[in-house]
């Protein structure tokens, strides 16, 4: 609430219960990071977090990029459970403290301050290792960048690397240019499944709020693509 009593943001009790131990762990076990982030109380950080993920909120002070909530569709937990049972994935490469899958051991987000809630910051600054689930923003260039980086990561090491990518099956060939990676690097990139739109429902971008958690069916099918090296793919 604002000082004049107006409701600014809402949060389900379930997400508040998930976020509190993450905050507490950072404060107790990563005190240097906590101080470096100039973190405040749990209530202060919770409010700041929810403001960061309002539509149009600034992402970076140096770049004119803003949050587009329309791109923050979360993969349903039932789909994650199936993918984890098949791949043993432990990492989520594109998420936020408000929509990450708690079953994952690690997750990456776009805001530096999200580290207060256990996130790792900016996945493109890290070497991709292990088994990860990827659900990048559905901007034209992002799926292409995502697969290109994943393939490069798989080729750069002899250690096992596996990526499970949940991407839009756009019918516009120019927008679905990421599919070219399948033919360019068949040893590192494979198409596993195309889920018809009528059988898929994302969680809403504001799934942390009280109310309906699932959106209607998307306007396009959903592709499941895997990337990795010969130890996995």
DSSP assignment string, 145-176: HHHHHHHHHHHT-SS-EEEEEEEEE-S-TTTT
Length of the chain: 233
At 223, the pLDDT band (50, 70, 90 cuts) reads very high
| pLDDT above 90 (res 71) | no
**Residue whose entry in the numeric block shows the structure tokens 């599919």:** 179
Please provide the average confidence, as pLDDT, over all residues in the chain: 88
9-18 pLDDT, tens digit per residue, is 888 899 999 9
At 194, the pLDDT band (50, 70, 90 cuts) reads very high
DSSP assignment string, 26-56: HHHH-HHHHHHTT---HHHHHHHHHHHTSTT
Residue 60: per-residue pLDDT:
61
| pLDDT above 60 (res 231) | no
Contact 178, 147 (CB under 8 A): yes
The least confident of 127-141, 152-166, 201-215 is: 201-215
What's the token pair of residue 43?
């209530």
Q: Is 215 helix (H, G, I), strand (E, B) or coil?
A: coil
| pLDDT above 90 (res 175) | no
**Residue whose entry in the numeric block shows the structure tokens 């409701």:** 7
40-59 pLDDT, tens digit per residue, is 999 999 999 988 888 777 77
The predicted model scores a pTM of 0.88
86 vs 172, more confident: 86
The least confident of 65-69, 77-81, 160-164, 197-201 is: 65-69
At 233, the pLDDT band (50, 70, 90 cuts) reads very low
Q: Is 79 helix (H, G, I), strand (E, B) or coil?
A: helix
What number is the average pLDDT over the span 153-176?
A: 87
């Amino acid at each position: 609430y604002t000082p004049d009593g107006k409701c600014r943001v809402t949060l389900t009790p379930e997400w508040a219960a998930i976020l509190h131990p993450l905050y507490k762990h950072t404060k107790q076990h990563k005190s240097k990071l906590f101080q470096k982030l100039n973190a405040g109380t749990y209530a202060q950080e919770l409010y700041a977090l929810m403001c960061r993920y309002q539509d149009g909120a600034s992402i970076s002070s140096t770049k004119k990029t803003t949050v587009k909530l329309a791109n923050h569709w979360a993969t349903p937990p039932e789909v994650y459970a199936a993918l984890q049972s098949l791949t043993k994935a432990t990492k989520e490469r594109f998420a936020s403290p408000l929509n990450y899958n708690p079953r994952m051991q690690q997750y990456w987000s776009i805001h530096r301050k999200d580290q207060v809630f256990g996130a790792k910051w900016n996945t493109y600054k890290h070497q991709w290792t292990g088994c990860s689930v990827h659900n990048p923003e559905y901007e034209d260039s992002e799926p292409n960048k995502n697969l290109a980086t994943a393939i490069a990561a798989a080729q750069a090491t002899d250690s096992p690397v596996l990526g499970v990518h949940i991407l839009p099956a756009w019918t516009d060939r120019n927008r679905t240019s990421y599919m070219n990676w399948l033919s360019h690097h068949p040893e590192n990139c494979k198409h596993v499944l195309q889920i018809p739109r009528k059988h898929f429902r994302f969680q809403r971008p504001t799934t942390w709020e009280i109310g309906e958690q699932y959106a209607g069916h998307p306007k396009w099918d959903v592709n499941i693509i895997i990337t990795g090296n010969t130890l996995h793919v």
